[in-house]
């Protein structure tokens, strides 16, 4: 016998902080900010799906700055929202190309679009079912990669036409660290408007049974290891930007590596310069202890030493560097992540490593600076990354690597491009190994791996949770 699902109440799937705005269509601008697991995206999905089925005359537009991020983020989230509302998907026409969700009974439609160019949103005008709700996800992208406030005003002007009342825009973002960031300044300005409300939430506003105890434990683990980072990541506070980028680096990260320990895999980040320094930073892959212990450093500066080296010489130095690590730690495979601009060095290393008794795999490094810094910070906070005393230059740079003061004042964080070669190399290495080590971190809600989302993905709506 098929079990009949009970009718879901909005109060059972939306946190109390958001209930006061759910049916209030008089508010034109709704800004939702949070730390991780604040459920603002879940709320936006439920509200958007509800719009389609509750208003026969109103459609929805969901925007991100870039088209290529739509399908795996907001599109999937809107489908989860349908599950949370316990509405059969058979009542909708759901397509991927174009990405649209249409409620069959009324013909109300949810459109998905990027805002890469000025013409991206102009074509989404529904004459029969005017756009009543616009949702802008990851709003920081509109400020970092777009025109910020001007772009938001243009989007509003595009979709408000044809509406006599009830038009709303919902903005979603996690506040950046920097209080001076343009998006933070925009939010303060919007808060002064009578037609705007700003609600900030964090994981503590969400029932534990929705999130799961593992996620709560993850937040508490960061609170213990780095209270300041916890306030930004989990509470969503703009805590300010330390000039010293890796302020969390300390004596506990300086650990002498056991020379008798076998590391079958070693990851190397390499930064290349002709007059500037060329450096290789090597780390063992310790899957059992969940560590990346430092096992070696190579550093040569043509300017400091007065001796220039060619790419072929640097390639031979790389081989000698790996030979020594192989001898000590019995390494079978080296993964090298090189400065993406060092194509000549990369080719020389390929030639020099063709006939070795161990394998060498060479890759272009991912050079997303802000993301790479964030990941190195996480590896330090949770004691995944350690330096051996032999990594003297890297140890020095961890203590001096800073953001430019003027960039912080302008709301951006731009590292000072001095004495940063080891920092670049380590960042390349961490980016290269990230897919292997990210599972060593405490549960990260950016992966949407909460009990609430697991239920949504499998459509297991049980009375215990709903």
Averaged in consecutive runs of 10 residues, what is the pLDDT profile of the chain (466 residues)?
Answer: 67 95 94 95 96 93 88 91 94 93 95 75 67 94 91 91 84 93 94 96 95 92 91 93 90 92 97 90 96 97 85 96 97 95 93 94 94 95 95 94 90 89 97 95 53 36 26
Tell me which H or E stretch contains 199: strand 196-201
Unique residue bearing structure tokens 């506990």 = 252
Q: What is the pLDDT of residue 380?
A: 95
| Counts of helices then strands in the chain (DSSP H, E) | 17, 14
C-alpha span between 222 and 462 (Å, rounded): 31
- Indicate the SS3 state at residue 110: strand
Q: What is the pLDDT of residue 461?
A: 28
Q: What is the pLDDT of residue 121?
A: 58
Name which CATH class applies to 251-446: alpha beta
Q: What is the pLDDT of residue 463?
A: 27
With a threshold of 0.95, does the pTM exceed it?
Answer: no
pLDDT tens digits, residue range 9-31? 999 999 999 999 999 989 999 99
Q: What is the pLDDT of residue 171?
A: 98
Bridging pattern class, strands 277-284 and 292-301: antiparallel
- Indicate the SS3 state at residue 290: coil
C-alpha span between 81 and 86 (Å, rounded): 9
pLDDT tens digits, residue range 23-73? 998 999 999 999 999 999 999 999 999 999 999 988 999 999 988 888 888
Confirm if 378 and 441 have CB atoms less than 8 A apart.
yes
Closest Cα to residue 399, out of 245, 228, 229? 245
Q: For the structural domain made of 11-215, what CATH number should be given?
A: 3.40.50.300
Sequence-separated (6 or more) residues with CB below 8 Å from residue 267: 282, 283, 285, 292, 334, 335, 337, 429, 432, 433
Tell me whether the CATH fold assigned to 11-215 matches the one assigned to 251-446: no
Give domain limits for the chain: 11-215, 251-446
Report residue 181 as tokens: 């960031």
**Extended strands (E) in 263-371:** 265-271, 277-284, 292-301, 333-338, 359-364
Q: What is the pLDDT of residue 215?
A: 92
Q: Report how far Cα 401 is from the mean position of its chain's Cα atoms.
A: 22
> Would you call the peptide bond into 342 cis, given omega within 30 degrees of 0 as the criterion?
no
Closest Cα to residue 75, out of 36, 110, 121? 110
**Extended strands (E) in 305-402:** 333-338, 359-364, 385-386
């Amino acid at each position: 016998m098929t079990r009949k699902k009970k009718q879901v109440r909005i109060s059972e799937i939306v946190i109390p902080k958001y209930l006061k705005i759910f049916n209030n269509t008089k508010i034109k601008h709704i800004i939702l900010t949070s730390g991780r697991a604040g459920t603002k995206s879940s709320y936006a999905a439920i509200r958007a799906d509800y719009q389609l089925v509750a208003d026969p005359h109103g459609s929805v537009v969901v925007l991100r700055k870039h088209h290529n991020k739509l399908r795996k983020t907001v599109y999937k989230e809107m489908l989860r929202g349908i599950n949370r509302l316990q509405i059969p998907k058979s009542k909708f026409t759901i397509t991927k190309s174009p990405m649209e969700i249409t409620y069959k009974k009324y013909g109300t439609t949810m459109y998905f679009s990027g805002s890469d160019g000025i013409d991206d949103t102009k074509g989404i005008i529904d004459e029969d079912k005017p756009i009543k709700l616009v949702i802008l996800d990851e709003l920081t992208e509109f400020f970092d990669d777009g025109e910020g406030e001007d772009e938001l005003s243009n989007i509003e002007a595009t979709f408000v036409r044809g509406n006599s009342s009830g038009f709303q825009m919902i903005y979603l973002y996690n506040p950046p660290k920097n209080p001076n960031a343009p998006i933070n300044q925009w939010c303060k300005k919007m808060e002064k408007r009578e037609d705007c409300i700003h609600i900030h939430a964090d994981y503590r506003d969400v029932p534990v049974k929705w999130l799961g105890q593992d996620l709560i434990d993850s937040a508490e683990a960061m609170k213990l290891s780095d209270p300041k980072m916890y306030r930004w990541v989990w509470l969503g506070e703009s805590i300010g930007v330390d000039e010293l980028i890796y302020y969390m680096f300390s004596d506990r990260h300086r650990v002498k590596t056991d020379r008798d320990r076998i590391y079958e895999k070693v990851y190397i980040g390499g930064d290349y310069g002709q007059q500037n320094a060329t450096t290789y930073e090597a780390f063992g892959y310790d899957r059992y202890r969940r560590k990346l212990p430092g096992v070696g450093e190579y550093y040569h500066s043509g300017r400091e030493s007065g001796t220039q080296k060619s790419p072929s010489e640097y390639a031979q130095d790389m081989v000698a560097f790996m030979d020594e690590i192989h001898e000590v730690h019995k390494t079978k495979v080296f993964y090298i992540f090189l400065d993406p601009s060092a194509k000549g060095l990369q080719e020389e290393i390929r030639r020099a490593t063709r006939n070795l008794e161990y394998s060498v795999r060479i890759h272009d490094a991912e050079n997303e600076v802000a993301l790479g810094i964030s990941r190195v910070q996480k590896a330090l906070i949770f004691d995944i990354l350690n330096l051996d005393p032999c990594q003297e230059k890297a140890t020095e740079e961890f203590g001096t690597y800073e953001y430019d003061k003027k960039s912080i004042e302008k709301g951006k964080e731009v590292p000072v491009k001095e004495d940063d070669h080891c920092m670049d190399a380590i960042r390349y290495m961490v980016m290269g190994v990230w897919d292997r080590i990210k599972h060593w971190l405490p549960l990260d809600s950016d992966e949407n791996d909460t009990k609430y989302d697991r239920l949504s993905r499998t459509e297991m709506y049980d009375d215990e949770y709903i």
